[in-house]
Homo-oligomer: A and B are copies of this chain.
Amino acid sequence: MKEWMKQVPPDEVKNYDKAGFMSEAKIGERTALIVIDVTYGFTGSEGLTMDEAIAEFRPACGPIAWETMPRIARLINMFRELGRPVVFTRGHPYNVLFAGKATKSTRSMKQPPKFNEFPPQIMPREDEFILEKTRASVFFQTPMASYLVQNQIDTVIVCGVSTSGCVRASVVDCFSHGFNTIVVDDCCFDRSNYAHCANLFDMHAKYANVVSLDELEPLMLGKQMQKAG
């Protein structure tokens, strides 16, 4: 059983099953990867405790971020090798002043530059796109949907931070826009493990397929072989 299912009362899971939730979705031919907000503002510098990370950047997730990072790097690398597009997102520091920020938290709207920088492990390449946003969802008032339409993407794979915030909001929108949506559970992280698990459960029940990196790899490579064969 998935780790994030253990927190859910078994009786309630049964009701989801009866109601027809939790169904399997298929991976399509034309995939894209979205790496959500994996910048220092949401990780904190490497090696800090949780308290130190929050002291550096209030929304930082600390140790769990750095534990997850190598798997995100592996996921990004798989897309690069398959020649499939990778889009990185982060906050838009200027537009945030214009339109407000992703959450109602009291943290300042002005952040030091490092807040929006990417750690070297998952640094975008020159030819990869960095999409800046003002709200939780990477689709809300950004050109994301038009990019996916123009590239005739049918399946979006999602990873990043936080599971209960920007990842969840983006996944709901991705599904709503009509894209087949897959969340990689062990490539997402959150400041609360409770919220991480609860949101993976919700997303899997209603909007996406939630799989691990180990589960995703053969699916993606299978697609590739199918195309090559």
Contacts and interface: CB of A to CB of B under 8 A. Distances in A.
Interface of A: 7-9, 12, 15-16, 18-21, 23, 25, 50-51, 54, 58-60, 87, 94-95, 97-100, 102-107, 129-131, 134-137, 140-150, 152, 154, 164-165, 168-169, 172-173, 175-179, 191-195, 198-199, 201-202, 205-208
Contacts of A178: 99-100, 145-150
Contacts of A98: 87, 129, 131, 143, 147
A164 to B, nearest CB: 5
Contact of A176 (B60, B137, B198): B137
14 contacts: A12-B194, A19-B105, A19-B107, A23-B104, A23-B105, A98-B147, A103-B206, A104-B207, A135-B143, A136-B207, A140-B176, A146-B177, A168-B172, A198-B202
B169 A146 contact: no
Contacts of A165: 202, 206
A176 B136 contact: yes
Contact of A100 (B23, B87, B150, B206): B150
A98 B20 CA distance: 21
A95 B136 CA distance: 19
Contact of A195 (B12, B54, B147): B12
Contact of A145 (B102, B141, B150, B152): B141
A152 B152 contact: yes
Contacts of A106: 20, 23
B149 A15 contact: no
B19 A191 contact: yes
A176 B58 contact: no
B206 A15 contact: no
A98 to B, nearest CB: 5
Contacts of A131: 95, 98
A15 B208 contact: no
A54 B19 contact: yes
